[in-house]
Structure 1
Amino acid sequence: MRAIPLVPLLLGWLALPAHADDAQDRLNRLAQAEHQQSYTGTFVYERNGSFSTHRIWQRVADGKVREHLLQLDGSPQEVLRVNGVTQCVSGTLEAGVSSVPDSPARAFDAARLSSWYDIKAAGTSRVAGRNANVVTLTPKDQHRYGIELHLDSETGLPLKSLLLSEKGQLLERFQFTDFSASQPPTEQMLTPSADCNAVQTVTTKMDNARQKVGWRSDWLPPGFDLSSSASRKDPDTKNQVTSLMYDDGLARFSVFVEPVNGAAVTDIRTQLGPTVAVSRKVTTQKGEAMVTVVGEIPIGTAERIALSMRDDAAAATSTN
């Protein structure tokens, strides 16, 4: 499941040049704040022309980061996460949850990200009545999106972010309308409702990920590495489904591989806001399989990744 992100992504209009070191320092501060700062707030999330409002509570205590998210309009939706791993969900979010745990992104490394993004400080702004510093991350290639972050001057946390396509189109907006870091949330605020259903997860050992799942990619965008992998049985088809998750330290995508077993399947190419889904059928010595790439990357990049997936036992051949 892709829960509403705390840090969605972006690129915008303020343009007061500053040293790259200043921007990297602010990103490094953001990385620390996400794991050290308690807060409460209300934010608006915009995607594909639709808006939703959410309440969020985060408390950092005893080495744990607990995050409780509640949608305030539309159908009730709720998420509880501990250290980035989903514990329970409710509403329509349940349909998107798998038994594979959320993949924590690698430690936020501004210096490493500078290999793939042009990182700049771009002036100041004011969001939810608070002063913010603006940082832009402009991709150096066509395989990822641009980001504009408005980071709270006091805490370093993101008060607003914009995610833009390679053509400069707004794909996603995240913006606090109310934010407070003065008091940590109470236990009651962090307690989910009875409608929040527990998520059962399975894990695999990263050191043996390739041997366990049996699939690999012959091509990845520069900077993207395998962050986790798992294999599970689909309760409906009874097929063994392989999942692989990749990230560049900021952007991420997942690859799912499932045997076709003679079933009629159709290639898919679709995009909703920043999220793309591309499915392609491939043929291996073990039979036909459907490869699906899902993530916040350009659709052309997702298609190339899907066609590059190979069965470790034998090279897969596209059935285009």
Structure 2
Amino acid sequence: MRAIPLVPLLLGGWLVLPVHADDAQDQLKRLAQAEQQQSFQGTFVYERNGSFSTHRIWHRVADGKVREHLLQLDGSAQEVLRVDGVTQCVSGTLEAGVSNIPDSPAHAFDAAKLSAWYDMKVGGNSRVAGRPAVVVTLTPRDQHRYGIELHLDSQTGLPLKSLLLSDKGQLLERFQFTELDTDAPTDQMLQPSADCKPVKVVKAKADAQKQQVAWRSDWLPPGFELSSAAARKDPDSKALVTSLMYDDGLARFSVFIEPVSGAAVTDIRTQLGPTVAVSRRLTTPKGDAMVTVVGEIPIGTAERIALSMRNDAAPAATKK
């Protein structure tokens, strides 16, 4: 997510002749297994839109559960505790809008499925955080998703570095370990601070479930499927907000739909690094609704998704 293409600079001296795609699929399968089987702890940096932050992570796999504790080390002390992908508590500015929908390890990194949407190759070897790594590139086959470059630890298969790249090779986002230890964290390391506030699980009622089914999209980028749906009452407006999450096994975006009745609302079209947010007001037979698409997808794709949302299969029109 930077104006200068960084791939040639970052890989200079590391590239070798590309290896068959099956080897890339094997590396991704190894990655999926590693995050569900390998305990570790370490420090990583995160870069987006020219802004850097440093984080500490403790990740333990024991008794069939994956427990993960993250803490931001600079700026505000933002903290997250997750168990099997479900957020248990958060602190700092992360408290607003946290989802407790669990990740789906079985769905992520389905190499055979991803090969339909990404051209996957092993691009060579590198060294990250003092550890040898294998470089795997995933180049999208269309304009509806970003490219990804992964540097996977040769010993464990864990991701030591990942780069999210635009179609022009611009760096949109960087995640990179500066130190990694494969020793399992202790109970004390996984214990959140008193500032970590519990995340409440909101259970959808029967009418909320109907609302979820009513909303659908007339168009989705190829390969994206609905992975979860939820509904909750907005604490301010008391309106029922429907949220739908879609993914292609790697990239994700969410659609939020909230009814509006005569309120003055503004359409939004913005991007910060790889993350876009597009809001459009739609008119349906059941009244007006504000549809917001948020995710790491190109902004034109997000806008098309927002305009394609339908309620009860009835046509919708953009409110002028």
Would the TM-score normalized by the shorter structure come out above 0.5? yes
Instruction: For residues 51-107 of structure 1, give each alpha carbon's deviation from its aligned partner in whole angstroms, at most 9, with x where no partner exists.
Output: 000000000001100000000000110000011111000001112325x52453624
Contact 2:259 2:290 in 1 (8 A): yes
Tell me, yes or no, if the aligned pair for 2:269 and 2:279 is still in contact at 8 Å.
Answer: yes
**SS class of match (1:235):** coil
Change in Cα spacing, 1:11 to 1:58, as seen in structure 2 (3 Å) is: farther
Question: Where does 1:113-124 land on structure 2 (aligned, <5 Å)?
Answer: 113-124=114-125
Q: Does 1:278 align with 2:278?
A: yes
Q: Secondary structure at the match of 1:96?
A: coil
Cross-structure match for 2:196: 196
- SS of alignment partner, residue 289 of structure 1: strand
Instruction: Report the CA distance shift for 1:133/1:209 in structure 2 as closer, same or farther (over 3 A).
Output: farther
For residues 240 and 211 of structure 1, the distance between their equivalents in structure 2, rounded to whole angstroms, comes to: 9
State the TM-score, normalizing by the size of structure 2: 0.92
Q: Deviations over 1:96-123 (max 9, x none)?
A: 325x524536242111100000000000
For the residue of structure 2 that corresponds to 1:303, the secondary structure is helix
Structure 2 residue aligned with 1:143: 144
CA–CA separation in structure 2 for the residues paired with 1:107 and 1:267? 32
> Given the superposition, is the C-alpha separation of residues 132 and 228 from structure 1 closer, same or farther in structure 2, using an over 3 Å criterion?
same
Matches of 1:209 and 1:166 in 2, distance apart? 38
Opposite residue 255 of structure 1, the aligned amino acid is V
Q: Distance in 1 between matches of 2:267 and 2:21?
A: 43
Unmatched runs of 5 consecutive residues or more in structure 2: none
In the alignment, what sits opposite 2:27? 26
Equivalent in 1, 8, 12 of residue 7 of structure 2: 12
Give the SS at the match of 2:96: helix
Q: State yes or no: 1:95 paired with 2:112.
A: no
1:316 equivalent to 2:316? Answer yes
Q: Are residues 272 and 28 of structure 1, via their aligned partners in 2, closer, same or farther at CA, if it must alter by over 3 Å? A: same
**What CA distance in whole angstroms lies between the structure 2 residues aligned with 1:210 and 1:228?**
14
2:225/2:248 contact within 8 Å kept: yes
Residues 209 and 35 (structure 1 numbering): CA distance in 2 closer, same or farther, change over 3 Å? farther
Distance 1:203 1:33 in 2: 32
Q: How does 1:140-289 map to 2 (within 5 A)?
A: 140-181=141-182, 183-203=183-203, 212-289=212-289
Q: SS of 2:168's equivalent?
A: coil
Q: Could you list the per-position Cα deviations for residues 261-293 of structure 1 after superposition, in whole angstroms to 9, with x for gaps in the alignment? A: 110000000001110000000001111100000
Q: Report the alpha carbon displacement of residue 313 of structure 1 after superposing the two structures with TM.
A: 5.6
Q: How far apart, in 1, do the equivalents of 2:288 and 2:245 lie?
A: 22
Residue correspondences, number: 307
Q: Which amino acid is 1:286 matched to?
A: K
Give the 3-state SS of the residue equivalent to 1:302 in structure 2.
helix
Structure 1 equivalent of residue 87 of structure 2: 86
Secondary structure of the structure 2 residue equivalent to 1:25? helix
Stretch deviating more after TM superposition (17-26 or 132-141): 17-26
Question: What is the CA–CA distance in structure 2 between the aligned matches of 1:210 and 1:276, rounded to whole Å?
Answer: 28
Aligned to 2:133: 132
What is the Cα deviation at residue 210 of structure 1?
6.7
> What SS class does the counterpart of residue 101 from structure 1 fall into?
coil
Amino acid at match of 1:273: G
Change in CA separation of 1:21 and 1:85 when aligned onto 2, cut-off 3 Å: same
> In angstroms, what is the RMSD of aligned CA positions?
1.8
Post-superposition Cα deviations, 1:185-207, rounded to whole Å, max 9, x if no partner, equal: 000000000000000123569xx
Question: 8 Å contact 1:103–1:228 — kept in the other structure?
Answer: no
CA–CA separation in structure 1 for the residues paired with 2:212 and 2:292 = 19
The question of whether the paired residues in 2 share the 8 Å contact of 1:244 and 1:254 is answered with yes
2:59 matches 1:58: yes
| Alpha-carbon distance between aligned partners in 2 of 1:161 and 1:203, rounded to the nearest angstrom | 35
Q: Give the distance between the partners of 1:122 and 1:131, measured in 2 at CA.
A: 14
The question of 1:295 aligning with 2:295 is answered yes
Letter in structure 1 aligned against 2:128: V
**More deviation, 51-60/167-176:** 167-176
Amino-acid identity (%): 78
Counterpart of 2:310, as a letter, is: R
The 3-state SS of whatever aligns with 2:19 is coil
Structure 1 contact 122–135 (Cα < 8 Å) conserved: yes
Does the C-alpha gap of structure 1 residues 35 and 77 become closer, same or farther in structure 2, counting only changes over 3 Å?
Answer: same
Deviation >6 Å, runs of 4+? 208-211
